[in-house]
Structure 1
Amino acid sequence: MNQPAESSKNNVAEMGIKFGPITLMPDIEKRHLFTLFFGAFFGIASMALVNVFGPLVFDILEIPQNETGALAGKLTAMQEIVVVCVIGLAGAFSDKVGRRIVYSMGFVLLGIGYFLYPLAGDSTELIIFRIFIALGCACNTVMLPTTANDYVHESTRGKLIATTSILNGLGLVLIIGSFRRLPEYFVNQGFDSAISGQYTIWCASAMVLIVSTILYTNLKKGAPAQVTKKGSYFSTLAIAFKEARNPRVALAYTAGVVSRGDLSVVSTFFSLWLFNEAITMDMSRAEAFKLSTGFYVMVQAFAIPGAVLINFFIDKVDRVMALAISMFIAACGYLYLGFIDDIFSKQMYFGAALLGLGEIFANISAISLIGSAAPAKGRGAVIGGFSFFGAIGILLVASIGGYLFDNVGPTAPFTMVGFANIALLILALLLLFFEDKKNNLN
């Protein structure tokens, strides 16, 4: 008579403790969850700062304006080549030594990169120093979703991903908004523009090193339970590619290409487009930087309510259907930018808002899909594979988008990404159609 009660107890134990609407896995403490939230708050902002600092670094190096676009694209492309080469290894390595070590190591590498970045004497040294930032981004990119998926029960996976995305957005808005004021502060203290830019970037270096220490001391120790039986690195990495035979994993990998491409086109070309447009309208460099960064912050500010909105349906519908809905909204945001004629008009504000919603919808739905489709054993390798394909998406946008930016028009990269979102929407609907057809036959 007591067996049902005991079974119920076991089920509760398997689900772990709850924090609000989020149910954790066993052995995950609230301290671990809060530290994950802390890392999420600083994570995206810490990586995005490298593009925000672009005008400051180009000013220090005295790069001519007509060469900054090409250099920005080259730096992004180089960074993603490094990410593509190591991100799968970062996920697999975390399966062996634990998420805590790899996650905190990512912020250490970012700290080293930001310290060296303003010390570059020319564009070649800038590219070399960017490698440290690229390695940090690789670890950071794969560790946030991997750790989040380790910590949460499947029934509330979407809610945790949405929560971390909200924190990503808050961190992006608040941290970048704060750093925008630092160059002006240092100038008011009597430093010239070059030294002010250097000190601003060094502040970022100090910030990420502090974050690394907190992550290392407070995340859950040890390797994930599901991979404590250690195989070779190559056998663990092979899981990511073998699982692509699952149509949902394959679709999630494709979503990784598109959703990361979405993020890349915003971070690489959005501010650059506005900055160049402002300069052509006879605004000073300081005013142009303030304008372009302000709209970038606005995009991320509207991503925050977007993460709240998607939370209402992402756990209530099929993950593939959630992806399809998100791709439709994202396509609208990116394609709309091509119709903006005046960056000072109300169109620009509406475009930035729609872009922020589309960006976050695409990102959350893609991460949620790979989290549900990945197997328990070797989840880090599979999500590493997702991040691997995401890095390819960023590389494609940086290279092709750079050509389109210079030769077709500054909004052409956004149009390209908009059509990519439409293509993924069609693929998601086709998968749902064939799955439904197969279920009916069975």
Structure 2
Amino acid sequence: MASQRALFTATRTQTLTYLLAVCPFSIAFLVYINSSISFVVTELIGLHHGEGDAVGTLGFADELLALAACPLWGVLSDRIGVRHVCVAGYSIIAVALVLFVQAKNVYPQLLLGRLLFSIGGSAVSTMVTAVLPTVTGRTSEDESLETENESSPRSESAADKSTPSSRLAGFVGMCAGCGALVSLIVFLPLPAQFQKLGLSPSTSIQYSYYVVAAMALLVSVWCLFGLRNLPGEENKAWNSLWSTEEDAGTLCDDGPSCAVRGKSRLPYLDQLSTAMVLGFRHSDIFIGYMGGFVARASSVGISLFIPLFVNHYYRAQGFCGDNQNRESGSSPGDIKQSCPDAYKLASILTGVSQLIALMTAPMFGYLSDRSRQHHLPLLFACLAGVIGYLAFPLLPSPKFNGEDGNPAVFAVMSLVGISQIGAIVCSLAVLSNGILSVNVHQEIPKQALGPEIEVQINDNDSEQPETEQQPLLTTPTTQKQQRLSHLKGSIAGVYSLFGGAGILLLTKLGGLLFDVLSPGAPFYIMAGFNGILLTAGIVGALVRRSKKFYASEIA
């Protein structure tokens, strides 16, 4: 029975490495470089005019490169394994952090350093998604039991089977949030600590980057040993980069069927195109992609546009004293120096949203596991996002005290935090469950299977001629045991691609409309994103319900 199955197919060491190394530090290093880059530009490079434009350009270049790098890392992980990609990603981050503080100018040296960091960062962020189905996938014993249960026409659907992916996704979101706290509490105060030892500000920043780089290298070594022998990753190595589909037979001992079980050597374009096509053929994977889009956009909405909105409000009301004559569209990084009250309020509001997100992450994981068929937790998170993002710019004031203050802003920030973490956790859970439940025979394009596997499926079909007693909806036994594990990296890459697109779209469109239309425009856009995902989730649930009803009528 499902209750008797092991919670994870991975060992305790592998699971802890994933939760305590891969998940938190994929966020921690990104938060650190985003938060400290302005100090590198001003203290190390010596640029004191136009630093906001330089920081924005570097961030935009980072996301633009990540759009291409994430799918490529995902495809590579299907060849060489998620462990090697994690090791390479954190090693590249370590090198990039060291080179970053050697730059003498913004262009091209600092830009090249940021692009190198983007390559490493995209690798580890993609692996957060790719490792999840590996850690929580089914064992061969579970698959045999599942096949036996599916032989009964009354057996439950794949969407209803209990898998630990949803539950673990909640802890993934919580650990990722803790990674941001590690950066804010441990990494960012390092320059101040070095300055207390008598070092200059520029030297303190350099030493801080060296310490964080050493931490990235340690995490890389941790992944090297902690992720060894992951289930389904045994035959993946660096030499697999040059193997092809024709070589699959020499790489496996179990015949052509091993290609389905995670050891195929498909052409790179076939892997990527299959991951894209699956988004249109499988509702769970499509919802996962859309959830990734909304989740990453939410992170920008909270970390960038809430401080910018507060800054604009304080300047428009004349609360910034002598600095109110500055442009209202100045970089959020300037708020701390030019308008400390706005900075404090923005920190409180974003802190409340992130605290609520951390507290509710495990709950969303648990609820996602209890409602995998209709994705009710994800729909609730989207509804919270629609309400929260619409309400925030409509408040008379973002302040929670004083003459114009309203404590209701905390309730709005709670809804925003719930929306963000719900999108992160539920999209990961839905995507992982989709990977583990895809019908290979019906939903994967033929080029992703290969001729040998197609022949095997057809042979199994021919061996079992149809009879009057045979159920109309039955499928071959071999087909039922096939999983999508050999494409999990490619799917994770496309998931990250959608997330990067969400960041770029909200950043550019939201920033433009903030200046020319209304300071509330980015939040209205985020409400629209959540509304679209909410509509897609409802339509998907209705379609699945109608299919299930139609299948029961035929049976």
- Residues 286 and 97 from structure 1, CA distance in 2 versus in 1: closer, same or farther, beyond 3 angstroms? farther
| Counterpart in the other structure of 1:51 | 34
Amino acid at match of 2:506: V
| Counterpart in the other structure of 1:420 | 529
Q: Shift of the alpha carbon at 1:93?
A: 0.9
Q: Deviations over 1:141-163 (max 9, x none)?
A: 11012112111146111111111
Matched, 1:338 2:399: no
Matched, 1:439 2:548: yes
| Counterpart in the other structure of 1:175 | 183
Q: Shift of the alpha carbon at 1:238?
A: 2.4
Question: Partners in 2 of 1:273 and 1:360 — Cα distance?
Answer: 21
Q: Shift of the alpha carbon at 1:297?
A: 4.6
Further displaced range: 44-53 or 245-254: 245-254
- Residues 192 and 236 from structure 1, CA distance in 2 versus in 1: closer, same or farther, beyond 3 angstroms? same
Q: Which has the higher helix share?
A: 1
Amino acid at match of 1:328: L
Choose the corresponding residue for 1:146, options 110, 130, 135: 130
Further displaced range: 395-404 or 183-192: 183-192
Amino acid at match of 2:544: E
Whether contact under 8 Å (1:76, 1:398) holds in the other structure is no
User: Aligned runs of 1:44-83 on 2, under 5 Å?
Assistant: 44-60=27-43, 61-64=45-48, 67-83=50-66
Amino acid at match of 1:251: I
| Counterpart in the other structure of 1:327 | 382
Amino acid at match of 1:285: Q
Amino acid at match of 1:146: A
Q: Shift of the alpha carbon at 1:108?
A: 1.4
Further displaced range: 390-399 or 358-367: 390-399
| Counterpart in the other structure of 1:230 | 265
| Counterpart in the other structure of 2:149 | none
Amino acid at match of 1:181: P
Question: Partners in 2 of 1:83 and 1:302 — Cα distance?
Answer: 29
Further displaced range: 407-416 or 252-261: 407-416
- Residues 354 and 220 from structure 1, CA distance in 2 versus in 1: closer, same or farther, beyond 3 angstroms? same
Q: Shift of the alpha carbon at 1:351?
A: 4.4
Amino acid at match of 1:243: L
Whether contact under 8 Å (2:166, 2:366) holds in the other structure is no
Please state whether the residue corresponding to 2:367 is helix, strand or coil.
coil
Amino acid at match of 1:425: L
Matched, 1:304 2:340: no
| Counterpart in the other structure of 1:20 | none
Further displaced range: 97-106 or 309-318: 309-318
- Residues 284 and 149 from structure 1, CA distance in 2 versus in 1: closer, same or farther, beyond 3 angstroms? closer
Question: Partners in 2 of 1:110 and 1:275 — Cα distance?
Answer: 32
Gaps of 5+ in 2: 138-161, 235-260, 322-334, 402-406, 439-483
Q: Shift of the alpha carbon at 1:216?
A: 1.1
Question: Partners in 1 of 2:516 and 2:192 — Cα distance?
Answer: 34
| Counterpart in the other structure of 2:171 | 163
| Counterpart in the other structure of 1:87 | 70
| Counterpart in the other structure of 2:320 | 281
Further displaced range: 232-241 or 141-150: 232-241
Further displaced range: 255-264 or 337-346: 337-346
Whether contact under 8 Å (2:169, 2:426) holds in the other structure is no
Q: Shift of the alpha carbon at 1:186?
A: 2.7
Please state whether the residue corresponding to 2:84 is helix, strand or coil.
helix
Further displaced range: 346-355 or 158-167: 346-355
Whether contact under 8 Å (2:89, 2:119) holds in the other structure is yes
Whether contact under 8 Å (1:73, 1:402) holds in the other structure is no
Question: Partners in 2 of 1:235 and 1:427 — Cα distance?
Answer: 27
Amino acid at match of 1:112: V
Whether contact under 8 Å (1:158, 1:311) holds in the other structure is yes
| Counterpart in the other structure of 2:429 | 368
| Counterpart in the other structure of 2:291 | 255
Larger radius of gyration: 2
| Counterpart in the other structure of 1:215 | 223
Amino acid at match of 2:18: L
Matched, 1:127 2:135: no
Whether contact under 8 Å (1:170, 1:301) holds in the other structure is no
Whether contact under 8 Å (2:167, 2:362) holds in the other structure is no
Question: Partners in 2 of 1:273 and 1:213 — Cα distance?
Answer: 41
Matched, 1:33 2:88: no
Whether contact under 8 Å (1:333, 1:351) holds in the other structure is yes
Q: Shift of the alpha carbon at 1:181?
A: 2.5
Q: What number of residue pairs does the alignment pair up?
A: 423
Q: Deviations over 1:205-260 (max 9, x none)?
A: 22212111111121133763632132222222222022123241223222222222
Question: Partners in 2 of 1:255 and 1:298 — Cα distance?
Answer: 22
| Counterpart in the other structure of 1:101 | 84
Question: Partners in 1 of 2:488 and 2:78 — Cα distance?
Answer: 8
Matched, 1:357 2:418: yes
Gaps of 5+ in 1: 1-7, 18-22
Amino acid at match of 1:36: Y
Please state whether the residue corresponding to 2:368 is helix, strand or coil.
coil
Question: Partners in 1 of 2:103 and 2:311 — Cα distance?
Answer: 23
Q: Deviations over 1:320-347 (max 9, x none)?
A: 3332122112233333332452456445
Question: Partners in 2 of 1:117 and 1:336 — Cα distance?
Answer: 40
Choose the corresponding residue for 1:380, options 478, 489, 506: 489
Question: Partners in 1 of 2:515 and 2:116 — Cα distance?
Answer: 28
> How large is the RMSD of aligned CA atoms in angstroms?
3.0
Question: Partners in 2 of 1:12 and 1:423 — Cα distance?
Answer: 36
Whether contact under 8 Å (2:66, 2:119) holds in the other structure is yes
Further displaced range: 44-53 or 156-165: 44-53
Please state whether the residue corresponding to 1:311 is helix, strand or coil.
helix
- Residues 336 and 109 from structure 1, CA distance in 2 versus in 1: closer, same or farther, beyond 3 angstroms? farther
User: TM-score, with normalisation over the residues of structure 2?
Assistant: 0.69
User: TM-score, with normalisation over the residues of structure 1?
Assistant: 0.85
